[in-house]
Amino acid sequence: MVNDSGSGQFKRFGSYEVVRFLGEAGGARVYRARQVSVDRFVTLTILPRQQMEKIAYRTRFERQVAAASKLRHPNILSAIDAGSVGGHQYLVSESVDGQRLSVALAAGEWFGVHRAVRIALAMARALEHVDSVGMLHRNLTPQCVLLGDAGMVKLRGFSFSRPHREGASETWFEPDDYGVQYKAPDWVTHKTLDIRADLYSLGCVLYELLTGRPPFRGGTSASILERHVKQPPPDPSTLRSDVTPDLQAVVMRLLAKDRDERYATATEVVTDLDAIEQEKPIVKPKKSKRRRLFGRKK
């Protein structure tokens, strides 16, 4: 059963009772809802049937559902159900009490070094799982990070995700001024992306957590992307005195222009951030080698 208000805002959707409209993403509408059968709150994402006719919206939604079917990790927003009701496609995910990281940053919230590292560590662990199933996120920004109670961190926003395919050409991204602040130079310099592009995006988010600003800001999308390719960002320690040399080394390695100079795997990032969180010295990096995974090579 589908029951809406006549303005496209759903009141009841199948076995879900809509509580509040949360926003839109990729043509889909996102709601806080109650799953009546088990009396629990969930996040309900609906792609209306009129949007299904638009290839870009349909493709993104299908990618999000495909990712949800593969990903099971404490730091990734868990999927509960998916399907179609009355021609509307839907995806149901767990509901997390909290806010998006982007909202906290926009409000000027200050993140202590330890909290920033804990958030980045949770994101690195999520990316480790994403890579382990042969996928890429491809759109990691603060909007994709949920901060919940008791330090919970969840990665979401998989509508641009796709399996890693060696030798496959990348489709171009939408050049909006927000998202481009977290895009790896690889989008310009390489035909194929791998996990190192996601790790660069993680570096951009960690940089903003520490300094209150992304590595590059201001100007057009094209000029920001050009700076990602050519211009080094200011060292975090010049903007914040309590950034340790080890933490700065991690951030700048994540943000290396040449992807061969970055961390090769999310596991390596987890190791170093975990050491920093425990106030232990990190091991100096050795020349990394990309491991073979699902037929992949460096």
CATH of the domain at 46: 3.30.200.20
Q: State how far the Cα of 153 lies from the Cα of 121, in Å rounded to an integer.
A: 10
Residues 51 and 125 in one domain: no
Residues 42 and 156 in one domain: no
Task: Write out pLDDT tens, residues 197-221.
Answer: 999 999 999 999 999 999 998 888 8
Q: State how far the Cα of 95 lies from the Cα of 81, in Å rounded to an integer.
A: 13
Whether 223 is in a domain gets the answer yes
φ/ψ (deg, to 5) at 25: -155, 120
Residues 203 and 266 in one domain: yes
Whether 288 is in a domain gets the answer no
Residues 82 and 123 in one domain: no
Q: Which residues contact 16 (CB under 8 A, 6 or more apart)?
A: 33, 34, 35, 36, 42, 44, 92
What pLDDT shows up at residue 294? 44
Task: Write out pLDDT tens, residues 231-252.
Answer: 999 999 999 999 999 999 999 9
Compute the average pLDDT of residues 178-198: 91
Residues 196 and 260 in one domain: yes
DSSP, collapsed to helix, strand or coil, labels residue 225 as helix
| Number of domains observed in the structure of the chain | 2
Which element (helix H / strand E) includes 66?
helix 55-70
Residues 125 and 207 in one domain: yes
What pLDDT shows up at residue 25? 76
Which of these, 233, 281, 239, 286, lies nearest to 261 by C-alpha position?
286
Is residue 277 over pLDDT 70? yes
Q: State how far the Cα of 220 lies from the Cα of 103, in Å rounded to an integer.
A: 22
Whether 293 is in a domain gets the answer no
Q: Domain boundary residue among 68, 94, 120? A: 94
CATH number at residue 112: 1.10.510.10
φ/ψ (deg, to 5) at 12: -140, 135
Angle at Cα 174 formed by Cα 171 and Cα 180, nearest 5°?
110
What pLDDT shows up at residue 150? 85
Residues 106 and 160 in one domain: yes
Torsion, Cα 103 109 111 117, to 10 degrees, reads 0
What are the b/e assignments for 42-57, b being 16+ CB within 10 Å?
A: bbbbbbbeebbeeeeb
Q: State how far the Cα of 89 lies from the Cα of 116, in Å rounded to an integer.
A: 36
What pLDDT shows up at residue 63? 87
Contact between 212 and 106 (Cβ < 8 Å): no
Residues 103 and 241 in one domain: yes
Whether 65 is in a domain gets the answer yes
Is residue 10 over pLDDT 80? no
Compute the average pLDDT of residues 179-194: 90
Range of the domain at 15: 2-94
Is residue 255 over pLDDT 90? yes
Residues 153 and 22 in one domain: no
Residues 195 and 125 in one domain: yes
Whether 211 is in a domain gets the answer yes
Residues 79 and 151 in one domain: no
Residues 138 and 153 in one domain: yes
Q: What is the DSSP letter of 298?
A: -
What pLDDT shows up at residue 8? 54
What pLDDT shows up at residue 4? 58
Compute the average pLDDT of residues 6-33: 83
When the pLDDT of each residue in the chain is averaged and rounded to a whole number, the result is 88
